[in-house]
Amino acid sequence: MASTPSPSSYIATGGAFERDASYVSDRITKDARRPEHGPVDGDLWPVEPGRYRLIAAAACPWANRTLIVRKLLGLEDVISVGMPGPVHDSRSWSFHLDPDGRDPVLGIERLQDAYFRRFPGYPRGITVPAVVEESTGLLVTNDFPWITHDLFHEWQEFHRPDAPDLWPAELRAEMDEVMERIYTEVNNGVYRCGFAGTQEAYDAAYDRLFTALDWLEERLTDRRYLMGERITEADVRLFTTLARFDAVYHGHFKCNRQKLTEMPVLWAYARDLFQTPGFGETIDFDQIKAHYYVVHSDINPSGIVPKGPDPEAWLTQHGRG
C-alpha cells in the first residue's frame, strides 16, 4: 500500500484502477545466495539476526502479512519491528505514535528518510512493508510478496522449533495458482472497486471480486484452510483482506453485495484464523479504519471514521475445528 497521494492518481485510462507494482527487488537470503524463486534484479543481502528492522504499519494489509508471518515463525527476537501510525500525508508514512514522533531504533520521523538515504529523490510511493538496515538506515527492500516468502525459506535456522510449514513443497504449484488468484481478484480486487473512476470499471471490478469470493466460499466448504488441514502462506494472504472487509471495504470501497459476516463459510474461516495465535493480535481495527477513512479523502472527504462494526464478533465460536 503506497503512501497515498490520492486515489485518483491510481486511476488508469478508462477509469480502471491499476496498481504500481514496481518495487525495490533486493532480497535477503542465507549467505546472500541467489534464491531459487522470485526476482533477483536487485542486490542480495545476507541473513543476519539483529541487522534488519521490519517497518510494517498495522493499518496496511500488505504489511499485516509480514507481522503475521514474523509471529508464526517466531522471529520476533531476530528481526525488530517498527510501526508507523495509520494516518500519513502525501510524503510518507510517519512514526507519529512513537515518543517524539520518531522510530526508536532508526531515529527517523518518516519512512521516506530510509528510502531517500538509499535512493535520493526516490520517485515512487513510499510503501510498507519495508525492511531497513538498522546500522545504516538504508532501505533494503519493499517487495512485499518476497519479504514473507524469504522469512520462511531463508531464515529457517532461526525459526521456532514448532513453526508451521507455510510453503509445503508438495503443494507449491497449486498454492502459487491459488495465491495469484487471491492477489489479483481479492487483495487487489477490493481496491479495483474502491478506486474505480467510472461506473463501468466499478461494475466489472465488483463482479470479479464476488466471483472470486464465491469460489473461496466453495473451496473452503470441505477443507479447514485453503490448502487443506494446515495453515499456509495462502491463508495469511487472504486473511488480511477478510479482516478489513466489513470495517472498510464493504462500505468505503463499495464492495457491498454482502458483508463478510453474511458469507457463512468465509466468516467462520476468518474467525478461525483470527483466533489462531499470530493472527488476531496483529489486527488493530481502530488504526485500519483511521487509515482508510482519513487518508482516502477523495472517497471520504468528510474524514469521518465509522464507529462499527463491533470487533467482539471476531471472538465468537467458528465451528471449524
Domain with residue 49: its CATH number is: 3.40.30.10
Domain contains 113: yes
For residue 299, the one-letter residue type is I
How many Å apart are CA 109 and CA 98, to the nearest integer? 9
Q: Do 102 and 186 lie in a common domain? A: no
Asked if the model's pLDDT at residue 9 lies above 50, the reply is: no
What's the residue count for the chain?
Answer: 321
Q: Do 148 and 197 lie in a common domain? A: no
93 annotated among ligand-binding-site residues: yes
CB atoms within 10 A of CB 313: 14
Read off the pLDDT of residues 207-262 as tens digits, 9 standing for 90 and up. Answer: 999 999 999 999 999 999 999 999 999 999 999 999 999 999 999 999 999 999 99
Q: Which of 97, 126, 158 is the last residue of a domain?
A: 158
- Bridge-based pairing state of the strands 139-141 and 130-133: antiparallel
Query: Is 60 tagged catalytic?
Result: yes
Q: Do 174 and 154 lie in a common domain? A: no
Q: How many domains does the chain have?
A: 2
Q: Do 106 and 230 lie in a common domain? A: no
Q: Do 109 and 17 lie in a common domain? A: yes
- Can you list the alpha helix ranges (DSSP code H) found in 104-181? 112-118, 144-153, 172-181
Residue 93 domain boundaries: 7-158
pTM across the whole model: 0.95
How many Å apart are CA 249 and CA 270, to the nearest integer? 15
Q: Do 271 and 299 lie in a common domain? A: yes
Catalytic residue among 10, 23, 52, 60: 60
Domain contains 248: yes
Q: Which of 116, 137, 158 is the last residue of a domain?
A: 158
**What is the DSSP secondary structure assignment for residue 124, as one 8-state letter?**
S
Q: Do 272 and 184 lie in a common domain? A: yes
Domain contains 289: yes
Q: Do 105 and 239 lie in a common domain? A: no
Read off the pLDDT of residues 144-162 as tens digits, 9 standing for 90 and up. Answer: 999 999 999 999 999 999 9
Q: Do 151 and 174 lie in a common domain? A: no
Per-residue CA distances from 89 to 2, 43, 85 (Å) = 11, 30, 11
Domain contains 52: yes
Q: Do 241 and 307 lie in a common domain? A: yes
Per-residue CA distances from 263 to 215, 216, 259 (Å) = 12, 10, 7
Asked if the model's pLDDT at residue 205 lies above 90, the reply is: yes
Q: Which of 158, 190, 220 is the last residue of a domain?
A: 158
Domain contains 27: yes
Catalytic residue among 10, 191, 249, 293: 191
Read off the pLDDT of residues 278-293 as tens digits, 9 standing for 90 and up. Answer: 999 999 999 999 999 9
Query: Is 255 tagged catalytic?
Result: no
Asked if the model's pLDDT at residue 8 lies above 60, the reply is: no
User: What are the cell numbers at 146?
Assistant: 518476497
Query: To the nearest whole number, what is the mean pLDDT of the chain?
Result: 94
Per-residue CA distances from 305 to 29, 92, 195 (Å) = 41, 21, 18
Q: Do 142 and 197 lie in a common domain? A: no
Q: Which of 2-16, 157-171, 245-259 is the least confident region?
A: 2-16
Residues 6+ away with beta carbon under 8 Å from 260: 242, 245, 246, 250, 266, 267, 270
Q: Do 152 and 12 lie in a common domain? A: yes
CATH of the domain at 190: 1.20.1050.10
Domain contains 56: yes
Domain contains 165: no
